[in-house]
Amino acid sequence: MKGNGAIELIAVSKFYGSTQAVKSIDLQIPAGAYCCLIGPSGCGKSTTLRMIAGHEVISEGDLLIGDRNVTELPPVKRGTAMMFQNYALFPHMTCAENVAFGLKMQGVSPADRKERAMEMLTRVQMAQFADRKPDQLSGGQQQRIALARSLITEPSVLLLDEPLSALDPFLRARMRDELRRLQQELGITFVHVTHAQDEALALSDMVVVMEDGIIRQKGTPQEIFNQPKSRFIANFMGGQNIFKGTVSESGPAGTLLARGPDSFFLPGFADGKAGEELEFTIRTDLIGLDETAPQEAQNGQIPVEITTVEYLGLWVRIVATTSDGKEITLMKTESEFRQAPVRRQDKYIAYWKPEHAHVLA
C-alpha cells in the first residue's frame, strides 16, 4: 500500500456558522493503527472523520497524513479512502465493476482493472459473486464489496463511518473479525467511527472518546475501560460502579475516604486532601457479596439489599441498593451465581479489594 498512514491533527476545529462542532483537537494516530472514534450522538466524531477524509473543510488547524500537510488537499489527493454506513454501491454495476470503479477513474486499463478487482474480491472472500449486482447480495456481502471498493486504490488510510451499524448482531461480530483481519493483513491505518462501546474495545489499538467537540480520553481499550479519567468516561464505557467519599486521611500508604458510616481505603493514592470529595470506580465484576463483613479490614465494604436479579445467559446482573438508595451493579458469571445464588430482598455486605479501586480525576 502507498505511503505512510500516520495521521496528525493539530488544533483542528470545525465551525458550522456559530456552532463549534470540533474544538481545537490534537490527535496523533500511528501508521498501521486501528483507531476508533467513539462518543455520544453529536459529539463531533463524524465531523472529525469527514475532515480527515476531506469531505468537510477544516475551519482551523492542520491535518498531516504521513509527512504531508493535507489540510487544503481534495479527498483524492490525501491517500485516504472512505467507507460509508450505507455502502453507497452503484446498483447498475456488477460487484467486480463496483470494486474496479476507483481504478477506472485513475485510467487503469480494463484488463488490469479486472485482475486487481478479482484479487481484491478474493481478499474479502467474494470472488464467486463478481458478476452479481449489489441487490442480489446480503447486507454483510454488500459490505465486503464496499470494503473491497474502498481498498482497491491502495489508500494508506481507510476511514469508516459506522460501518457495522446496519448489520444484525451476529453479522456485526463476524464483520468485526473480518475488519480487524483485513486491517492487519494490509497494515494500513483504519479510523472507524462508532457509537458502540463493544465495537471500539474489540477492534482498536487506540480508542478516542469524544464529548461535546473535545477529546476526553485516548488510549488502549484496556486503559479506557480500566482507567477511565472521569465520571463521563466511566459511565459512557460502562462496566463500572462509581463511589464518592470525603478524604479523612491521606499518607504515603494511601488515602482513607469516609462515606456516611462506611470508609474506603485507596492504597497507592496519596494525593487526597483532607475534606476533599473524591470519586473512584470499581468494576461490576470485581464486587463480591458476603453475609458478614469480610475479614480483611482494608476491603471496601458497604451493606446492601438485593433489588434486581437479571439472568442474561452467560452473566447474571445483580443490582444491590445501599440504605441511602445508591444502586451498585454486580456482574456474576452464571456458574459463580449458581454456586452462590442471591434473591431479591436478601441483605448482604457488598465488598471489593482496595487495589481494585480506581480514583477518578
Ligand X SMILES: Nc1ncnc2c1ncn2[C@@H]1O[C@H](COP(=O)(O)OP(=O)(O)OP(=O)(O)O)[C@@H](O)[C@H]1O
Residue numbers of the site for ligand X (CB under 6 A)? 16, 19, 21, 39, 41-47, 195
| C-alpha distances out from residue 342 to 230, 245, 300, Å | 32, 28, 20
Q: Tell the smallest beta-carbon distance from residue 213 to ligand X (Å).
A: 7
Q: Which of 54, 58, 52 is nearest to 16 (CA)?
A: 58
Q: Which three cell numbers stand for residue 236?
A: 459512557
Contact 209, 218 (CB under 8 A): yes
Nearer to ligand X, 39 or 254 (CB): 39
Q: Tell the smallest beta-carbon distance from residue 47 to ligand X (Å).
A: 3
What is the number of the residue whose Cβ is closest to ligand X?
46
Q: Tell the smallest beta-carbon distance from residue 18 to ligand X (Å).
A: 10
Nearer to ligand X, 165 or 322 (CB): 165
Contact 257, 240 (CB under 8 A): no
Burial status of residue 70 (CB atoms within 10 A of its CB: 0-12, 13-18, 19 or more)? buried
Nearer to ligand X, 47 or 299 (CB): 47
- d(CA 283, CA 19) in angstroms, rounded, equals 37
Nearer to ligand X, 103 or 206 (CB): 206
- d(CA 285, CA 74) in angstroms, rounded, equals 48
Q: Tell the smallest beta-carbon distance from residue 45 to ligand X (Å).
A: 4
User: Sign (positive/negative) of CA torsion 192, 79, 63, 219?
Assistant: positive
Nearer to ligand X, 97 or 161 (CB): 161
Q: Tell the smallest beta-carbon distance from residue 236 to ligand X (Å).
A: 12
